[in-house]
Amino acid sequence: MRFGLNTFLYASPFTNESVTLFKKLKKWGFDTVEIPVEALEHIDPLTVKAAAAKAGIKIGSICACMGPGRDFRGSAEDQKTATTYVKGLIDQAAAMGCPKLIGPIYSVVGLADAHDDAEKKQQFDLVVRNLKPLAKYAEQKGVTLCIEPLNRFETDFLNTCDQGLKLVKAVGSKAVKLHLDTFHMNIEEKNQAAAIKKAGKHLGHFHACGSDRGTPGGDHIEWKPIVKALKKIGYKGDIVIESFTTDVKVIARAAAIWRKIEPKRDDIAVKGLANMKKFFGKK
């Protein structure tokens, strides 16, 4: 099991110049880095790969940023745009030797409204239809797509582990797994540990986030049963800290971070990593 950090804590967008973060993250004790790629042209994958190798840190995952126009349940144009973007991310992940593409790989973030059952079925079928060829492409490239349910305020499409599993099974590919996040589960799940156990072998990625988007382990989330559940299902993937602060303005607005969550953003990384290592019994 490896511990990683999502670079949204420090940079948006992540570009070739952002690789200067790698040395610091490695020094703090992180094994991996998770890179949100907001636009394909923002990075050269070979440049990023070389910088990570030089710093001695692994690129554990890249994160899909499903902004406006990237929607597998939207218009034909939006579906095409989303497909081109995700296919490009798969190519970049493969070029970097990165095993996973993670995030809400189904719809634009922020689209949240009520739909009747017929609309829900139509949208679900559209997402499945769009994901199947991408899953096949990911298989060929050796990349796993890890699909993340978000809370009800960020999407109306996929909120719970149960819904996520339904989508994963409908796509039916060994290259498609579930991605769970403690921040979203804190809002949507009755019991986080139970959700993790239900995910079982389908769990491909995990975000450790504070209940307030601050330092994981410095919040009210019960980490002991979560750790126990992850160990019970034999989860061997990365544990990635994903938090946002007011220092990165674009992401602060997108994630509704209107106040300073912690005195120092470095605390989220450093203290969060120390907490995770303590919880998981790692030195």
Q: Which domains does the chain have, with CATH numbers?
A: 2-279 (3.20.20.150)
pLDDT tops 70 at residue 248: no
Q: If you average pLDDT over residues 50-55, what whole number do you get?
A: 98
Segment 24-42, tens digit of pLDDT = 999 999 999 999 999 999 9
| Dist CA 283 CA 277 (whole Å) | 6
The answer to whether residues 236 and 1 touch, using CB atoms and an 8 Å cutoff, is yes
Q: Which of 60, 51, 43, 42 is nearest to 20 (CA)?
A: 51
Average model confidence (pLDDT) across the chain: 94
Residue 259 vs residue 178, higher pLDDT: 178
Instruction: Identify any residues that bridge with 143 across adjacent strands, giving them in sequence order.
Output: none
Segment 81-122, tens digit of pLDDT = 999 999 999 999 999 999 999 999 999 998 889 899 999 999
pLDDT-above-70 percentage for the chain: 95
Q: Is 283 exposed, middle or buried (0-12, 13-18, 19+ CB in 10 A)?
A: exposed
Is the whole model's pTM more than 0.85, yes or no? yes
| Dist CA 278 CA 242 (whole Å) | 18
The answer to whether residues 213 and 186 touch, using CB atoms and an 8 Å cutoff, is no
Segment 122-162, tens digit of pLDDT = 999 999 999 999 999 999 999 999 999 999 999 999 999 99
